[in-house]
Amino acid sequence: MLLVFTVILAALIFEYINGFHDAANAIATVVSTKILTPRQAIAMAAVCNLIGAFIGTAVATTIGKGLVDLHAVTTLTILSALLSAIIWGLLTWWFGLPSSSSHALIGGLCGAALSSSQLNWSVLHWHTVDAATGKSGGLWPKVIGPMLTSPVLGFVIGFLFMGLILVVFRRITPHMAKQTFGKLQLVSACGMGLSHGSNDAQKTMGIIALALYTATQDGQFSDLPPFLSFLNTPEFVVHKWVIILCALTMAAGTALGGWRIIRTMGHKMVKLQPVHGFAAETTAALIIQFASHWGIPVSTTHVISTSIMGVGSTKRLSALKWGIVHRIVWAWVLTIPVTALMAYLIHSAFTRLF
């Protein structure tokens, strides 16, 4: 029972760190263009994330039971995955790199599952087809494929959308452009928050739901007192209290630790104006919302980062600070293999200790 509560606590710490990274990415442009103050942006992000988290649980289900064989998952497996993701999240946050908390969690879960199954690679669901719905699932269509395509889509669509805006509004004065797109950016920022809640906020929900389901199956909740009966989860389901708890924890993380990432996204990579912020946020929100509908756990970090790059490239390619971009890309590439290796080693160490 103590181990289960430790896992839930670790999951909430991960969600808090996710607020440093991904929720900070979601409001970086609206703060950097000075359309909203940091306090206003945080309040908006908290409300929109909470609403977005209730839109559906498709992504939580993918994370919780769609990527690895549940027979290879124990409470210790989940704890190892979370610790790996937490370490990577703190490390990249320290250097101000907007790495993907989503991919850190996925990499950690895969690495820990491989350790608990003694390197049985078949426990990883590379590709599955749901017999009832005919929908594809598994690591390739839900994680690896979107990991490669979503940043490209972010860059290309951001570039084209910004180009369209420049053509349509070419006769507008700078003052009018700032006023018009300043108001529109409030709408796009809300859309970004809703999309973020409907996708990223669900990942920790899926992990907590998996932990409760695993503990129930292992008989760890057989002697629960009546006031804790809500923890008993004989079927994989994301409870409402889990949704609310995760959404509030993410908002707290954004409020207290997100400004390193905001500076990188909004100032160091390319100088943004309200029109650029609107184009980047709208592009990213649409891509993420589409992914959420299909239960695809895309990285908000990847999508908003490349959307900003695409929008910034309409000025000129040299407007991008490629040194910062290079560091960000390396953080993306390394996230899954590094967190998988760390989770494997952590689980192996736990197994020897206990």
User: Dihedral (C-alpha) 200, 77, 66, 199: value to the nearest 10 degrees?
Assistant: 0
Say how far apart CA 296 and CA 289 lie, in whole Å. 10
pLDDT number for residue 8: 93
- H/E segment holding residue 137: strand 136-137
Instruction: Name the residue among 87, 111, 115, 119 with its Cα closest to residue 101.
Output: 87
Instruction: Name the residue among 252, 338, 260, 332 with its Cα closest to residue 299.
Output: 332
Amino acid present at 109: L
pLDDT number for residue 278: 92
Least confident of 4-13, 103-112, 132-141, 173-182: 132-141
The larger pLDDT score, comparing residue 98 to residue 184, is at: 184
Say how far apart CA 214 and CA 210 lie, in whole Å. 6
Q: What average pLDDT does range 20-44 have in this prediction?
A: 74
Say how far apart CA 298 and CA 59 lie, in whole Å. 9
Give residue 87's pLDDT band: very low, low, confident or very high (50, 70, 90). Answer: very high
Say how far apart CA 93 and CA 221 lie, in whole Å. 36
Give residue 156's pLDDT band: very low, low, confident or very high (50, 70, 90). Answer: very high
| pLDDT, tens digit, 9 for 90 and up, residues 303-316 | 888 888 888 888 77
Q: What average pLDDT does range 19-30 have in this prediction?
A: 68
| pLDDT, tens digit, 9 for 90 and up, residues 197-229 | 888 778 889 999 999 999 999 888 888 888 888
This prediction has a pTM of 0.84
Q: What average pLDDT does range 73-84 have in this prediction?
A: 95
pLDDT number for residue 40: 82
Q: What average pLDDT does range 269-287 have in this prediction?
A: 84
| pLDDT, tens digit, 9 for 90 and up, residues 62-71 | 898 889 998 8
**Degrees, nearest 5: CA angle 58-204-260:** 120
- H/E segment holding residue 345: helix 322-353
Counting beta carbons within 10 angstroms of the beta carbon of residue 43, is it exposed (0 to 12), middle (13 to 18) or buried (19 or more)? middle
Give residue 122's pLDDT band: very low, low, confident or very high (50, 70, 90). Answer: very high
pLDDT number for residue 263: 59
pLDDT number for residue 203: 86
- DSSP string across 232-252: --SS----HHHHHHHHHHHHH
- Work out the number of other CB atoms within 10 angstroms of the CB of residue 59: 28
CB 36 within 8 Å of CB 277:
no
Q: What average pLDDT does range 35-51 have in this prediction?
A: 79
